[in-house]
Amino acid sequence: LLFLQMEYVSLPQDKELFQESQKRIQAMALVHEELYGAEDLSSVNMRDYMPRLVERVLAGAALPVRLECAVDEVRLPVTRSIPCGLILNELVMNAVKHAFRPGEAVGRPGLLRVSLRREGPLLVLEVEDNGPGLPADFDIRVTPTLGMTLVYSLTEQLSGSISAHSGPSGARFRLEMPCEGV
């Protein structure tokens, strides 16, 4: 339906909004694909799900980006895997839009690192790129974009915390959430 509606939109920025919505829906649909293919219908194997999700977003961007993915063997209940997948989707789309635009990489190939691991009582999701970094005044809690607003809201839904760091080697987002039920 979004694809059909997009045919009636003429402004490029409006088309981009429709495409972003399609990617959000695809992220949720991929969780359901994982569930239907698994013996356990109550949880999602994040080691399988996360690389597939990131590769779909990168393939849709048609940019030369190398992906390094390190995901521990973690099964999340559906109530946590969907928000986690949506957060990952938003952070990867953000990197595609801002870190890997033509001319931004200054002669170096794009690199995206995604990891999910246990650290004591926490589950830590990190998304890191080698782009130009974040604006000096970037604050994830007050960003005016729908994507970052979603990331912040979904992080709260997971009883987690998220931080954003910028440096000469790019941007890094770190989500920490309790391991309960994992």
**Chain segment 131-172, per-residue pLDDT in tens:** 988 888 888 888 778 888 889 999 999 999 999 999 888 999
Measured N-to-C along each axis, helices 46-61 and 12-36 cross at an angle, to the nearest 10 degrees, of 150
Q: Cβ–Cβ contacts within 10 Å for residue 54, how many?
A: 22
Report, in angstroms and rounded to the nearest whole number, the Rg of the chain calculated over CA atoms.
16
Among 178, 181, 147, 182, smallest CA distance to 164 is for 147
Q: How much is the average pLDDT of 111-135?
A: 94
Biggest CA pair distance of the chain? 50
How many residues can be counted in the chain?
182
Query: pTM for the full model?
Result: 0.83
**Whether the predicted pLDDT of 103 surpasses 60:** no
What pLDDT shows up at residue 71? 97
- Are 113 and 169 in contact by the 8 Å Cβ rule? The answer is no
What pLDDT shows up at residue 69? 96
pLDDT tens string 24-64: 777 677 766 766 666 676 788 899 889 988 988 888 777 78
- Sign of the Cα pseudo-torsion (2, 64, 125, 168, in order): negative
pLDDT tens string 56-101: 888 877 778 899 999 999 999 888 988 999 899 889 988 988 888 7
